[in-house]
Amino acid sequence: MRFYFTFLSMLALALLTGCATVSVERARNVSSAGVAYAQATAGVIDVAMNASIDASSERQVRSKPRPPVSESDQALRAAGLKELDSELARNVVTYVRLKRSVNAVEAYFEALQQLADGSTAEATETAVKSLADRINGLNSALEKSEGAKPLISDEKKTAIGGLAKLVAKQAHGALLARALERDAATVGRALALQELVLKAASDDIRANLNDAAARFYTDRIVSPYAAGNIGAAWVEDRRSYLKAHAIGNTTETISAAEAAARQMQTVWERILSGEYSAKELVASLKDTEELLGAVAALKDANAKK
């Protein structure tokens, strides 16, 4: 009797704690979005590191001095390059530091993903059924009668196992809900910082592309046109420039990262606000229905005792 009372208390607690499926789905959504966001941001950082160095190199190539270059000018240029290179090296080191922080955020979401996928509901059901078998076996050994009626009938064993499974499912969901609530502020701050990293890295990539587009337009479109030196290649160049200019020259890497950032924001805002969607509400009703069904099965099994 005490055993069932414990189960029913746990069930009541589970019902109060909330809806397991919703919490698990929510944790799955947020973790997969978080991992994708972190990976996309790390990808943008890699591109930005190259873009910032390339942009500088292109500026240096374009502004190279007209010969002859005096010895004193050469010394000045060498010193200037050294100063510029040490600054660019610092930029790379800082980008690597930022990538390390983004990787730590990714590790958080991977751990959350593992916890969301780590339900022990099935294993608990099997374990509880096996425990019931052992109790029956031990009882029969103590009673010294092989054919004695089992202490826990098959029907009751199935009902207890099913309920244990659902309780484990609820416990898993509650654990995830608690984890999300516990980490909301920490992860929220990390995501806001990650957004700043993404913005800074994207700006470096865009600046490099804008410089390149400006050079392309001057060298391949305006200058040949002004000199009257135009033909089939000029037609191609003009079309590609105008199309890229009109559509926007955002690279795929930035687009993917920005899309991931938008998705992440939506998911995280819902986590923080505790909003339920219609789909989540249906899932939560299904959970409650399953739990009531399991309690009814246990009650039936007890009635047939």
Footprint (CB under 8 A) of another protein, residues 260-279 = 265, 268-269, 272-273
Tell me if 189 contacts another protein by CB under 8 A: yes
Among 19, 160, 190, 294, binds another protein (CB under 8 A): 190
Least distance between another protein and beta carbon 144 (Å): 7
Tell me if 51 contacts another protein by CB under 8 A: no
CA trace torsion 8, 10, 15, 21 (10° rounding): -120
Tell me if 172 contacts another protein by CB under 8 A: yes
Run of H or E residues at 221 = none
Which residue in the block uniquely carries the two structure tokens 């991992």?
Answer: 35
Of the candidate spans 10-18, 35-43, 99-107, 251-259, the one that interacts with another protein by CB under 8 A turns out to be 99-107
Nearer to another protein, 75 or 104 (CB): 104
Tell me if 82 contacts another protein by CB under 8 A: no
Among 78, 84, 148, 292, binds another protein (CB under 8 A): 84
In the window 122-141, what residues touch another protein (CB under 8 A)?
Answer: 123-124, 127-128, 130-131, 133-135, 137-138, 141
Query: What would the x/- binding string for another protein be over residues 231 to 250, using CB under 8 A?
Result: --------------------
End-to-end CA distance of the chain: 13
Tell me if 13 contacts another protein by CB under 8 A: no
Instruction: Give the whole-angstrom CA distance, residue 167 versus residue 6.
Output: 11
Query: What would the x/- binding string for another protein be over residues 192 to 231, using CB under 8 A?
Result: xxx-xx-xx--xx--x--xxx-xx-xxx--xx--------
In the window 16-45, what residues touch another protein (CB under 8 A)?
Answer: none
Both structure tokens of 163: 């309920």
Instruction: Give the whole-angstrom CA distance, residue 189 versus residue 94.
Output: 19
Nearer to another protein, 15 or 272 (CB): 272
Nearest to 201 by CA among 43, 8, 48: 48
Count of alpha carbons within 13 angstroms of residue 264, beta-carbon side: 28
Instruction: Give the whole-angstrom CA distance, residue 189 versus residue 289.
Output: 38
Among 2, 68, 144, 231, binds another protein (CB under 8 A): 144
Of the candidate spans 108-116, 148-156, 284-292, 295-303, the one that interacts with another protein by CB under 8 A turns out to be 108-116
Phi-psi map region of 120: left, alpha, beta (phi>0 left; psi -120 to 50 alpha): alpha
Least distance between another protein and beta carbon 131 (Å): 4
Instruction: Give the whole-angstrom CA distance, residue 183 versus residue 115.
Output: 14
Nearer to another protein, 83 or 236 (CB): 83
Question: What does the chain come to in residues?
Answer: 305
| Contact status, residue 206 vs residue 244, Cβ threshold 8 Å | no
Least distance between another protein and beta carbon 141 (Å): 4
Sign of the torsion angle spanned by Cα atoms 267, 272, 277, 280: positive
Tell me if 259 contacts another protein by CB under 8 A: no
Least distance between another protein and beta carbon 6 (Å): 14
Long-range contacts of 270-274 (CB under 8 A, 24+ apart): 270/26, 271/26, 271/30, 271/180, 271/184, 272/184, 272/188
DSSP strands (E only) in the chain: none
Least distance between another protein and beta carbon 177 (Å): 11
Tell me if 8 contacts another protein by CB under 8 A: no
